[in-house]
Amino acid sequence: MSVAAPPRQCLNCDAGTPHRSQLGGLLRRCVGCGLNWTVPDPAVAPPRYEADYFCGGGYDDYFLAGPRRFEAGRRLRWLSSVVRPSVLVEAGCAGGYFLEAARGAGFTVTGVEVSRVAAEFAVRELGVPVRQGYFERVASSLRADVVCAFHVLEHVDDPRVFLRAAWETLTPGGWLALEVPNIASAAADRLGHDWPGLQPDYHPWHFTRESLARLLTGAGFQIVQQDTAVFRFYMPAGYRLRHAHRLLPRDWIDLRSSRLTHPRRGDLLRAIARKPHDPRSG
């Protein structure tokens, strides 16, 4: 997709709503709703989700079966607390481990993945069906009861276009499940430029609980569930125990809790939203 021009106003709010410079000008933050966007650096080329992303640059672990299957199981349990097995599309399915888990639980699955390397891995190694391409472009040929997008919305050119594509894919009463980095997390406040979720070369958007909710309701969805999880949530219990001396104090200082989820201050923001049965009444 083309490189997005720097937004002159918040996607969620009126044109007159002011926004403030954050992190020395790296981000703009809407005063009205808390949506943040990265100010594009003209010297930096747009991300390529091939060589740069899934094959190097610290993302090799997208293909590691152990951690990815644990993460997929966690996400599936969260989704299954609300959604019954049905037809599911995952946008940005990477190596396909969540699709594998969902299929195992009785969902009929299809993935969409922009990276050819990742899409081919999912098909070849896990045997899950994946279409290579941008979700926004192939959505009109898909139909689903559930659309999932984990760590996708912060990458897209325009989140409203992505949500419109999800809406068109979903049957009436269908579900949308999202996870994104939480820029209102305690860790983002504490770490500033060193916050691992920042990734200005890859993340044009940053969400808070409020700004994500506003974006979803603006697109016609009804919010069913929203919370946050700490990074430890996706680490297997053995790993959490071995690294407790390093991980727990940080979360305790940030959240005053050893729990793995938190209403708003954890590292990862999660939402389940619904397309109303009758959108006109929504």
Please give the residue ranges that form the binding site for Zn ion (CB under 5 A): 10, 12-13, 30, 32-33, 35
Q: Per-residue b/e over 115-138, b at no fewer than 16 CB within 10 Å? A: bebbbebbbeebebebbbebbbeb
User: Measured from the CB of residue 167, what is the shortest distance to Zn ion in angstroms?
Assistant: 20
Which CB atom, from 13 or from 117, has the smaller least distance to Zn ion? 13
What's the token pair of residue 107?
């969902």
User: Measured from the CB of residue 162, what is the shortest distance to Zn ion in angstroms?
Assistant: 17
Which CB atom, from 13 or from 122, has the smaller least distance to Zn ion? 13
What's the token pair of residue 128?
């899950």
User: Measured from the CB of residue 190, what is the shortest distance to Zn ion in angstroms?
Assistant: 24
User: Measured from the CB of residue 19, what is the shortest distance to Zn ion in angstroms?
Assistant: 7
Which CB atom, from 32 or from 96, has the smaller least distance to Zn ion? 32
Q: Which of 147, 76, 85, 82 is nearest to 111 (CA)?
A: 147
Rounded distance, CA 208 to CA 94, Å? 24
User: Measured from the CB of residue 31, what is the shortest distance to Zn ion in angstroms?
Assistant: 8
Rounded distance, CA 39 to CA 196, Å? 18
Q: Per-residue b/e over 88-105, b at no fewer than 16 CB within 10 Å? A: bbbbbbbbbbbbbbbbee
User: Measured from the CB of residue 13, what is the shortest distance to Zn ion in angstroms?
Assistant: 3
Which CB atom, from 30 or from 101, has the smaller least distance to Zn ion? 30
72 touches 91 (CB < 8 A): no
Which CB atom, from 110 or from 211, has the smaller least distance to Zn ion? 211
Which CB atom, from 72 or from 156, has the smaller least distance to Zn ion? 156
Region of 57 (left: φ > 0; alpha: ψ -120 to 50; beta: rest) is: left
